[in-house]
Every structure is written in C-alpha cells, then in structure tokens.
Amino acid sequence: MKKWESASRPETSEGIQYHIGLKPGDIASSVLLPGDPARARLISGLWDSAKQMAEKRSYLTFTGIFKGVPITTTSTGIGCPATAIAIEELASIGAKTLIRVGSSGAIQKHIKCGDLIITTGAVRNDGTSAQYVVPQYPAFANHQVTLALIEAAESYGFRYHVGITCSTDSFFTGQGRPGFKNYWQSNMDHIIPDLKAARVLNFEMECSTIFTLSNLFGLRSGAICAVFANRETEEFATLGEKEASQTACEAVKILAEWDEQSVKAKAENWHPSLSKK
C-alpha cells in the first residue's frame, strides 16, 4: 500500500500523484488533455513511439515521441472538476504546456460538423474556476499555443474557426437542452440566443478551467475541439476527432521549434520575426 505524505497534498515521497498515478519523469512538459480515455489512445497512436504510464479512474496517460519531440497525453474525463485535478497534479510533476483536445457543439449556423474550433477564450459558466479566483478574472488561451494550433491546422489544410467558447458544467440544461422528461426553466430560453449575439462559437465543458488555472499557475494552454453537433441546424455527427488530435500533436512540435528559436535569440517571448533569423 502506498504511503501518502499528507492529506493536504496527497502524494508519495517519490512524488506519485494520488489521482493520476504519475510521478516526476513520467510526463513530457507538453501535455494534451482529451476528455475521453479512448481519445488518449487515438492521440498516442499518431506518435512515433508511445508508452502507457498510468491508468487510474478517468485518467489514462501515455508518454512518447512525436516527430522527435517528447509529448504526453492524459485524459481528464468530463467536466471542469476532474480536469482541475489533472491540471493540479500534472503541474506538480512538470507539465508546462496544456492543450485540450475535445469535442464540442457549435451554436453558429456556418460551422459544420467535422470542423475544428481553436479557442481564444472561454465564458466561465462553470463552477470550478470560481473556486480559484473571482468570476471577473478572464479565461484566455496563451497566444503562442493558439498561434501554433492555427499554424498546425493550416499545415494540414483542415477547416477551422477561431474564437470564444462557452464552458458549462451541464451538457443538458446548461447548454439549452431539455432535461429528463423535458425539464425546463424559463432562463434556458435565452442561453443560446444570448451567446450567439455575443459571437460565441460553441459549447464544451473544460476550457474555462484549463485557461484560468494555467494563467494562475504560470502555465501556457490552448484548446482545439472537433465539432460533433450544430445546435442551430440540429446536425450531430462524431467527425473531426482525428483531425483535432493531429493538429494538437503538430502544435506541440511547432511550439518546440519556436521555444528553441526563442532560446537562441535570448528572447523572452517568441514572435514571428524570430523565424526569419
């Protein structure tokens, strides 16, 4: 039986984290965060090499190499509470860059199933991030990670959109769907129209906490989601998962190249002109 150091921060003397079952040295500094463990397997299958490092609860982790760059993927399960646990524990053992690889439902009519959405910021309609900081604090993606995702999607020729997402704690009523036996409250009438008017692109359930915690902890993060549904057209098709995964992996490689350029130039932040030197 493992001996845990304390109840305040449950980990072993070797640094094994209670929930994810990982210790320092088990992961790369760049970690892809799908919700579904099956997507973690899909992602690791795209790499040059991969090794399963741990599987506990909903947290399945692989570490390997993609195009010469160390990379990790850890599934988070559904929702912000489980995702926050993963972020806390991954950060404790060396994660520096986090990229969500998810699925989502579009609320703008021009977005099709199978398209990709690269999120720049998230509406914090979750409860978890509010446990860390006041609701007025913004949930925004790191600019380098966002640019790398855009660059990666362009390199593959995938159809993608860039903008704001809404993260919720409810797949049903929180996203304007009726609950069991058509349960409904009058405030649900306005959820989608108000978000559409605010130019929000889609719903999903993790970005707001990933972005908020990353900024609070000094990590960089981003997100790419495949569109499985369009709430305006009522289309639903599980398309784009592999494309989102490919884009996220390629973004990790791009970020590694940009980081190397920054180090050589002794620049605090990567910027496009560094690529010309």
pLDDT 10s digits, 170-189: 999 999 999 999 999 999 99
DSSP 3-state assignment of 211? helix
As a whole number, mean pLDDT of residues 220-232 equals 98
Residue type, 242: K
pLDDT 10s digits, 32-65: 999 999 999 999 999 999 999 999 999 999 999 9
- Find the catalytic residue in 5, 55, 88, 177: 177
- Find the catalytic residue in 11, 39, 89, 100: 89
In eight-state DSSP terms, residue 2 is P
Catalytic annotation present for 89: yes
Token pair recorded at residue 181: 């036996």
Rounded to whole angstroms, the Cα distance separating 238 from 214 reads: 29
What is the pLDDT, as a whole number, of residue 199? 98
Catalytic annotation present for 110: no
What is the pLDDT, as a whole number, of residue 93? 98
Residue 196 has pLDDT above 80, yes or no: yes
Residue 277 has pLDDT above 90, yes or no: no
Rounded to whole angstroms, the Cα distance separating 102 from 223 reads: 8
pLDDT 10s digits, 230-244: 999 999 999 999 999
pLDDT 10s digits, 115-163: 999 999 999 999 999 999 999 999 999 999 999 999 999 999 999 999 9
Catalytic annotation present for 41: no
Catalytic annotation present for 19: yes
- Find the catalytic residue in 124, 204, 231, 243: 231
Q: How far is CA 235 from CA 7, 112, 238, 257, 261, in A?
A: 47, 8, 10, 38, 43
**Highest CATH level, class, for 30-276:** alpha beta
pLDDT 10s digits, 56-95: 999 999 999 999 999 999 999 999 999 999 999 999 999 9
What is the pLDDT, as a whole number, of residue 5? 86
Cα–Cα–Cα angle for 155, 63, 54, nearest 5°?
140
Q: Where are the domains of the chain?
A: 30-276
pLDDT band at residue 2 using 50, 70 and 90 as cut-offs: confident
- Find the catalytic residue in 5, 19, 55, 88: 19
Residue 21 has pLDDT above 80, yes or no: yes
